[in-house]
Amino acid sequence: VFELLTGDFLFEPRKGYYYDKDDDHLAQMIELLGPMPKNFALSGKNSRRFFDSTGHLRRIRGLNYWPLHRVLIEKYRFVPKEAETLADFLHSMLTWYPDKRATAQEMLEHPWLKMPKNENYRMDPAEYEVMMEKIKNKEEAEKRKKELEIILREGNMDPETLSKKIRSENMSELA
């Protein structure tokens, strides 16, 4: 469904210098769906090849989480309501635990399939630019807020050490 609507693969793993396609595929899934539950990550017969004892990927760090509804909005310019409903539809089939995934019958009842036909499910360029500017401003404000929290928490730390701490905490959010 994703590929039909966007013309792109949902996951397109590539081999890297320090990791193979399977590592990249898992990383892309985690970035899109959120962290894999530790017990699930460690339950497979080959899990130790890909995951460390804490359930994190062995060869890929610094993941950039980008939830599916935001991918649809920010990359493919879907109207937010359409993106959220479609993302929910797709997530029903992409849940980590197979026994929690929706059945075909349940999928037929999903609200996305019952939405009125809409030829204009993508934002026009002007609307998209306004929305992206709002997202950028919100993310910058959240980053400044976190930096201020660090400054307040650390008290009277010298500026150079404080700057290193802020950079390290911002980077740890990506891991």
- Tens digit of each residue's pLDDT (9 = 90 or more) over 28-41: 999 999 999 999 99
Which of 100-104, 141-145, 169-173 bottoms out in mean pLDDT, i.e. has the lowest? 169-173
Q: What is the pLDDT of residue 170?
A: 57
More confident residue, 22 or 175: 22
The Cα-based distances of 137 to 61, 144, 173, 174 in angstroms read 27, 11, 19, 19
Over range 121-142, report the average pLDDT.
85
Q: Tell me which amino acid residue 117 is.
A: K
Phi, psi for residue 51 in degrees, rounded to 5:
-120, 145
* Residue 95 CA to its chain's centroid (Å): 14
**Is residue 94's pLDDT more than 60?**
yes
Among residues of the chain, what percentage have pLDDT more than 70? Answer: 90
The mean pLDDT value for 136-144 works out to 85
Largest Cα span, the chain? 61
| pLDDT at residue 110, as a whole number | 96
Alpha carbons 130 and 133: distance in angstroms, whole number = 5
Specify the pLDDT at position 9: 97
Q: Mean of the pLDDT values across residues 120-128? A: 83
Mean per-residue pLDDT, 100-115: 95
pTM for the structure as a whole: 0.75
Chain centroid to Cα 129, Å, comes to: 21
